[in-house]
Amino acid sequence: MENQLVTIEELEVGDEIMISCQAHFKYLKVLAKPRLSKTKVHWNTKQSMHSNVRCSTRQDVVTNTYTWNGNSYTRTTKVWRITPEDHNMTISQDLNDRQIWLVKRETI
């Protein structure tokens, strides 16, 4: 059941997934089972939606220095790393109405 699109209902703790988010890809590991929200409802259908899912991921801060017109400038950007190792942050990600790609399912 790996390497396929899944829905939020099919996710389990330990699953490694990829999603697209604002022109980036995020590689996430699910830390908590998705559950229905008590307050979130779909704006049109009025059906209950899932709350944000707790996931771990890796994000690095990259600093670039460049020179323009004789002046030196430093630019700092945050880059999402697509890797299953060395996750350095925990986030709550909204997975409602997203395409979720199951990369790896943790087997017991």
pTM exceeding the 0.95 threshold for the entire prediction: no
pLDDT of residue 2: 74
> End-to-end distance of the chain based on CA atoms, in angstroms?
14
Token pair listed for 100: 């979720």
pLDDT tens digits for range 75-84: 999 999 999 9
Contact 59, 78 (CB under 8 A): yes
pLDDT tens digits for range 66-102: 999 999 999 999 999 999 999 999 999 999 999 999 9
**Ordered structural domains, the chain, with CATH:** 4-58+84-104 (2.30.30)
pLDDT confidence tier of residue 65, bands split at 50, 70 and 90: very high
What phi and psi values does residue 61 have, to the nearest 5 degrees? -100, 120
